[in-house]
Amino acid sequence: MAYKHDQLEPIDEHHVRGKFASRLGFVLAAVGSAVGLGNIWRFPYVMGENGGAAFVLVYLACVAFVAMPVLLVEFAIGRRGQTSAVSSFRVIAPGRKWWLNGLLGVITAFVILSFYSAVAGWVLNYFVKGVTAGFGDYTADNSATRFLSLIDGVSTPLIYQFLAMLITGLIIFFGIENGIERISKLFMPLLFAILLLLIIRAVTLEGAGAGVAFMFQPDFGDVNLRTVLSALGLAFFSLSVGMGAMITYASYVSKDVHLGKTAVTVAGLDTLVALVAGLAIFPAVFAFNMEPGAGPALIFITLPQIFAQMPLGAIVGPTFFLLIFIAALTSMISILEPIVTYLVDDLNIRRHAATALSVVAVYLAGIPACLGADAGGKLGHIKLPFLGKEFGILDYMAEMSNILLLLGGLVSCLFVLIAWNKRDVLAEVAGTRGNAHSPMLRVWYVLAVTLAPLGIVAILLSSLGLF
């Protein structure tokens, strides 16, 4: 008979919680969550807009001192709780209101998926285009028009967004071990292999050196407060922290896994992929004299023109979009799973019904973002104010998610500081076979309860214009 979190309350068959079968499966699923559009789409263009190498250094600092400590905080909460992100807070601090942070995460998941699934749909569309028609006739004159005619449309982007959500739901439907773990074990090695091939192609192009220099020779003249805010927001987004995705994944992990080591592996691989994605893109951008600061459209408008001119471009192009789609898919499952886990663990809905319900709900919530992605779209005229600026719906969701993630991460750090006893925290992180007294863990703890929350507060206040 199975029992729900340590209480002597027997639970019926379909409420037996799933589990990752191996540590490797968990690591790959967490890496799959972390590596996504944030690394391959957002990181390169944000870096391009913020002057390259100097931004990279700021980003690395944000990952090491803030986002990675928060990642470990989430791992610890989830594994201790062994239940949804909402209830995990309750298990550790019964009778207190901390679980509201878990609920905030469920809302954040909706906000993120609304725009993430729209962009993933564009990627899927470009993959299909690349395979069927190729990018051979993409030029400076028509590349932008073609991209805009996709995202300003109604049925095509909505259908592709739906397909992206449907595939995500299908994987979730099969559960932790047979769905998430299996797909991650298959797709992550594939993703690394494809990425390697793409870099080799990019850096062997004539004139690629300027792109490499752009990434690795810093000019600190470009660094300002906005740079730091975008670096920290991106670090949270890229490591999937601040909304309970990693709490949820860790709730399916057995007690003998050393969470500290896992967090370092996940953060390290995620950062490596972000840098390496830059290496697959900027050498080509410079070799063909394109604009590195092209913004969100970099991969959709700039790259197809490069594929059109580059030797082997007919193969490289679709392969590139396949890579991005795989990365996006393994991230989307980690944003959907917390919603499903919440429905199953807290509201006692069966997994299959919960999956169907959340796919439909998330898809409906994503329609405005899809139709308001660009000024020329059906809902493109709608502008929403955010921190003194106006945004279209999709951009508004993206800006909102930055703030929501920082807020969620902040509360989780404070939770560890205030509501959870230090000795228990360290024991949970080390796991049954690790050393809870290691100096590294103590350093982490200090970061997690001091520098990380202080850094987040400073960035939040300054982005709200308060100082």
Contacts of 173 (CB under 8 A, 6+ apart): 179, 351, 352, 355
**Closest separation between CB of residue 321 and ligand TRP, Å?**
15
Nearer to ligand TRP, 104 or 405 (CB): 405
Residue with smaller CB distance to ligand TRP, 92 or 336: 336
What is the number of other CB atoms lying within 10 angstroms of the CB of residue 241? 31
Q: Which is nearer to ligand TRP, 36 or 283 (CB)?
A: 36
In whole angstroms, the minimum distance from the beta carbon of 163 to ligand TRP comes to 18
Can you tell me the distance from the alpha carbon of 34 to that of 375, in angstroms, rounded to the nearest whole number?
30
User: 3-state class of 386 per DSSP?
Assistant: strand
In contact, 363 and 345? CB cutoff 8 Å: no
Nearer to ligand TRP, 73 or 335 (CB): 335
User: With respect to ligand TRP, which residue has the nearer C-beta, 101 or 305?
Assistant: 101
Q: What is the DSSP string of 209-244?
A: HHHHHHHHS--GGG--HHHHHHHHHHHHHHTT-SSS
φ, ψ at 253 (rounded to 5°): -110, 145
Residues of this chain that bind ligand TRP (CB under 6 A): 33-34, 36-39, 112, 237-238, 240, 242-243, 245, 331, 334-335, 405
Cα dihedral sign, 326-328-334-336: negative
Minimum CB distance to ligand TRP smaller for 243 or for 400: 243
CB of residue 357 to ligand TRP, shortest distance in Å: 20
The least CB distance from residue 240 to ligand TRP, in Å, is 3
Nearest distance from residue 333's CB to ligand TRP, in Å? Answer: 9
CA distance 72 to 250: 10
**Residue located via tokens 């390496």:** 276
Q: How far is the CB of 20 from ligand TRP (least distance, A)?
A: 16
